Amino acid sequence: MIVIEGTVRIPPENVERARAVMEQMIRASRAEPGCIDYAYSIDVLDAGLVRVTERWESRAALDLHFKTAHMATWRAFYPQLGLTDRSLRLYEADPEPI
């Protein structure tokens, strides 16, 4: 299993505008083959900090995710939303027990 964990920053005044784009990205990503979970969350103590958590069945599934139209759309919104300080880490993990 592949786990992505990290953060991005969006100016707090842009968070509400970002929600619709983030929701589209989450829904489309969760529908992809190989996606176990995909989530963004706003930090309770830092309104501009978005926490990113993803779990994928394999690196191949993640590689396909990077090539999707919804990923291209999400990246195209980075400048409009003021997204900065992108810090994501990839981990290989044992699959969850059944």
pTM of the model: 0.90
In a domain, 81, yes or no: yes
* Angle in degrees, 0-180, between the axes of helices 69-81 and 15-30, rounded to the nearest 10: 170
In a domain, 84, yes or no: yes
In a domain, 98, yes or no: no
Rounded Cα gap, residues 86 and 7, in angstroms: 6
Rounded Cα gap, residues 21 and 44, in angstroms: 20
CB-CB neighbours of 78 under 10 Å? 14
Q: State the total domains in the chain.
A: 1
Query: What's residue 97's pLDDT?
Result: 77
In a domain, 97, yes or no: no
Of the pLDDT bands very low, low, confident and very high (cuts 50, 70, 90), residue 30 is very high
Tell me the CATH number at 42.
3.30.70.100
Q: Is the pLDDT of residue 96 over 90?
A: no
Q: Are 53 and 4 in contact (CB under 8 A)?
A: yes
